Amino acid sequence: MTTRVLTRDPRGYHALELLDAFTPADTREREHHARMLALLATTDAPFTRDQFDPGHFTASALVISRDAGQVLLIHHPTLSLWLQPGGHIEPEDPSLVEAARREVREETGLEATIAPTCFDLDIHEIPARGTAPAHLHHDIRFLAVVDGLPTPASAERVDARWLAPQQAATLTTDESVRRMLRKAFPTAPNA
Protein backbone atom coordinates (compact mmCIF):
# COMPACT_ATOMS: atom_id res chain seq x y z
CA MET A 1 0.00 0.00 0.00
CA THR A 2 1.29 3.45 -0.88
CA THR A 3 0.71 6.27 1.57
CA ARG A 4 -0.13 9.57 0.02
CA VAL A 5 0.93 12.93 1.37
CA LEU A 6 -1.82 15.54 1.14
CA THR A 7 0.29 18.56 2.08
CA ARG A 8 2.35 20.44 -0.49
CA ASP A 9 4.90 21.16 2.23
CA PRO A 10 8.11 19.24 1.33
CA ARG A 11 8.50 18.33 4.99
CA GLY A 12 5.54 16.01 4.46
CA TYR A 13 7.66 13.81 2.22
CA HIS A 14 10.50 13.98 4.75
CA ALA A 15 8.08 12.82 7.47
CA LEU A 16 6.85 10.01 5.20
CA GLU A 17 10.45 8.88 4.54
CA LEU A 18 11.15 8.85 8.29
CA LEU A 19 7.99 6.88 9.02
CA ASP A 20 8.54 4.42 6.17
CA ALA A 21 12.05 3.62 7.46
CA PHE A 22 10.92 3.24 11.09
CA THR A 23 10.15 -0.07 12.77
CA PRO A 24 7.84 0.38 15.79
CA ALA A 25 9.05 -1.28 18.98
CA ASP A 26 5.67 -2.26 20.38
CA THR A 27 1.91 -2.20 19.86
CA ARG A 28 1.57 1.39 21.07
CA GLU A 29 4.22 2.63 18.63
CA ARG A 30 2.57 0.67 15.80
CA GLU A 31 -0.67 2.52 16.58
CA HIS A 32 1.12 5.89 16.64
CA HIS A 33 2.89 5.02 13.38
CA ALA A 34 -0.42 4.29 11.63
CA ARG A 35 -2.04 7.46 12.99
CA MET A 36 0.90 9.60 11.83
CA LEU A 37 0.68 8.14 8.33
CA ALA A 38 -3.04 8.93 8.38
CA LEU A 39 -2.30 12.52 9.46
CA LEU A 40 -0.06 12.96 6.40
CA ALA A 41 -2.72 11.48 4.13
CA THR A 42 -5.70 13.44 5.47
CA THR A 43 -4.57 17.00 6.17
CA ASP A 44 -2.79 19.66 4.17
CA ALA A 45 -1.41 21.39 7.30
CA PRO A 46 0.22 18.67 9.45
CA PHE A 47 3.02 20.98 10.66
CA THR A 48 0.85 23.97 11.58
CA ARG A 49 0.67 24.52 15.32
CA ASP A 50 -2.87 25.89 15.14
CA GLN A 51 -4.27 22.79 13.46
CA PHE A 52 -5.94 21.35 16.52
CA ASP A 53 -8.03 18.69 14.84
CA PRO A 54 -6.67 16.07 14.25
CA GLY A 55 -3.50 17.61 15.74
CA HIS A 56 -0.07 18.36 14.30
CA PHE A 57 3.48 17.07 14.14
CA THR A 58 6.14 18.08 16.63
CA ALA A 59 9.82 17.11 16.82
CA SER A 60 11.98 16.24 19.81
CA ALA A 61 15.26 14.53 20.69
CA LEU A 62 16.50 12.40 23.54
CA VAL A 63 19.91 13.89 24.35
CA ILE A 64 22.52 11.44 25.62
CA SER A 65 26.19 11.77 26.51
CA ARG A 66 28.25 9.53 24.25
CA ASP A 67 30.93 8.81 26.85
CA ALA A 68 29.24 9.48 30.21
CA GLY A 69 26.22 7.21 29.71
CA GLN A 70 23.77 9.84 30.91
CA VAL A 71 20.65 11.48 29.53
CA LEU A 72 19.57 15.13 29.64
CA LEU A 73 15.97 15.79 30.66
CA ILE A 74 14.24 19.13 30.96
CA HIS A 75 11.41 20.13 33.24
CA HIS A 76 8.58 21.25 30.96
CA PRO A 77 7.17 24.34 32.68
CA THR A 78 3.65 24.08 31.25
CA LEU A 79 3.13 20.35 31.66
CA SER A 80 5.22 20.07 34.85
CA LEU A 81 6.87 16.89 33.53
CA TRP A 82 10.48 15.79 33.01
CA LEU A 83 10.80 15.21 29.26
CA GLN A 84 13.21 15.32 26.35
CA PRO A 85 13.70 18.70 24.59
CA GLY A 86 11.25 19.30 21.77
CA GLY A 87 8.36 21.28 20.45
CA HIS A 88 6.56 22.73 17.47
CA ILE A 89 7.89 22.70 13.95
CA GLU A 90 8.38 26.29 12.83
CA PRO A 91 7.80 27.49 9.24
CA GLU A 92 11.54 28.18 8.82
CA ASP A 93 12.58 24.64 9.89
CA PRO A 94 13.67 22.89 6.66
CA SER A 95 13.10 19.40 8.10
CA LEU A 96 11.94 17.58 11.19
CA VAL A 97 15.56 16.77 12.08
CA GLU A 98 16.40 20.49 11.97
CA ALA A 99 13.33 21.30 14.06
CA ALA A 100 14.55 18.85 16.71
CA ARG A 101 18.07 20.34 16.54
CA ARG A 102 16.67 23.86 17.02
CA GLU A 103 14.55 22.74 19.97
CA VAL A 104 17.56 21.11 21.66
CA ARG A 105 19.56 24.31 21.16
CA GLU A 106 16.76 26.58 22.45
CA GLU A 107 15.90 24.46 25.47
CA THR A 108 19.41 23.35 26.52
CA GLY A 109 21.89 25.63 24.75
CA LEU A 110 23.67 22.52 23.43
CA GLU A 111 24.77 21.72 19.89
CA ALA A 112 24.10 18.02 19.53
CA THR A 113 24.70 15.53 16.75
CA ILE A 114 21.25 14.30 15.78
CA ALA A 115 20.76 10.99 14.02
CA PRO A 116 18.85 11.52 10.74
CA THR A 117 16.52 8.60 11.42
CA CYS A 118 13.46 8.37 13.61
CA PHE A 119 14.20 6.98 17.08
CA ASP A 120 10.73 6.90 18.64
CA LEU A 121 7.12 7.92 17.97
CA ASP A 122 4.50 9.20 20.39
CA ILE A 123 1.11 10.85 20.19
CA HIS A 124 0.05 12.62 23.34
CA GLU A 125 -2.62 15.10 24.39
CA ILE A 126 -1.75 18.67 25.21
CA PRO A 127 -4.23 20.29 27.61
CA ALA A 128 -6.19 23.41 26.66
CA ARG A 129 -4.26 26.62 27.32
CA GLY A 130 -5.33 30.19 26.55
CA THR A 131 -7.29 30.14 23.30
CA ALA A 132 -5.84 26.77 22.22
CA PRO A 133 -8.13 23.80 22.88
CA ALA A 134 -6.83 20.44 24.01
CA HIS A 135 -5.17 18.78 21.03
CA LEU A 136 -2.75 16.06 19.99
CA HIS A 137 0.99 16.31 19.33
CA HIS A 138 2.24 13.71 16.87
CA ASP A 139 5.85 13.68 18.08
CA ILE A 140 8.60 12.32 15.84
CA ARG A 141 11.62 11.75 18.07
CA PHE A 142 15.31 11.57 17.29
CA LEU A 143 18.43 10.53 19.20
CA ALA A 144 20.87 13.36 19.92
CA VAL A 145 24.43 12.80 21.12
CA VAL A 146 26.96 15.09 22.79
CA ASP A 147 30.46 14.48 24.16
CA GLY A 148 30.98 14.76 27.90
CA LEU A 149 28.45 16.44 30.16
CA PRO A 150 28.28 20.03 28.89
CA THR A 151 26.45 22.45 31.15
CA PRO A 152 23.00 23.25 29.81
CA ALA A 153 22.36 26.97 29.33
CA SER A 154 18.82 27.42 28.09
CA ALA A 155 17.67 30.65 26.50
CA GLU A 156 14.20 29.58 27.63
CA ARG A 157 15.36 29.20 31.25
CA VAL A 158 14.11 25.66 31.72
CA ASP A 159 15.54 23.36 34.36
CA ALA A 160 17.75 20.77 32.63
CA ARG A 161 19.61 17.92 34.34
CA TRP A 162 22.05 15.19 33.35
CA LEU A 163 20.91 11.92 34.88
CA ALA A 164 21.90 8.28 34.90
CA PRO A 165 19.26 6.27 32.96
CA GLN A 166 17.75 4.75 36.10
CA GLN A 167 17.57 8.19 37.77
CA ALA A 168 15.82 9.59 34.69
CA ALA A 169 13.35 6.67 34.67
CA THR A 170 12.54 7.41 38.30
CA LEU A 171 12.27 11.18 37.85
CA THR A 172 9.99 11.15 34.81
CA THR A 173 6.39 10.05 35.08
CA ASP A 174 6.02 9.84 31.30
CA GLU A 175 5.98 6.26 30.02
CA SER A 176 7.07 7.29 26.53
CA VAL A 177 10.26 8.81 27.98
CA ARG A 178 10.87 5.55 29.85
CA ARG A 179 10.42 3.66 26.55
CA MET A 180 13.09 5.88 24.93
CA LEU A 181 15.41 5.27 27.88
CA ARG A 182 15.02 1.51 27.45
CA LYS A 183 15.86 1.89 23.75
CA ALA A 184 18.89 4.14 24.34
CA PHE A 185 20.23 2.22 27.37
CA PRO A 186 19.08 -1.39 26.93
CA THR A 187 21.51 -2.76 29.53
CA ALA A 188 20.81 -0.14 32.22
CA PRO A 189 18.96 -1.48 35.26
CA ASN A 190 15.42 -0.11 35.68
CA ALA A 191 15.67 2.19 32.66
* pTM beyond 0.85, yes or no: yes
> What is the domain partition of the chain in residue ranges?
58-184
Closest CA to 59 of 19, 97, 113: 97
Superfamily of structural domain 58-184: Nucleoside Triphosphate Pyrophosphohydrolase (3.90.79.10)
Q: What is the pLDDT of residue 4?
A: 77
Given a cut of 50, is residue 145 above it in pLDDT?
yes
Distance CA 111, CA 157 (A): 17
Instruction: Inform me whether the pLDDT recorded for 5 exceeds 90.
Output: no
AA identity, residue 59: A
Give the single-character DSSP code of 92: T
Per residue in 73-122, pLDDT tens? 999 877 889 999 999 999 999 999 999 999 999 999 999 999 999 999 99
Q: Place 188 in a pLDDT band, splitting at 50, 70 and 90.
A: confident
Residue 77 per-residue DSSP state: T
pLDDT digits (tens, 9 = 90+) for 122-134: 999 999 999 999 9
CA dist 37 → 6, 47, 182 (Å): 11, 13, 25
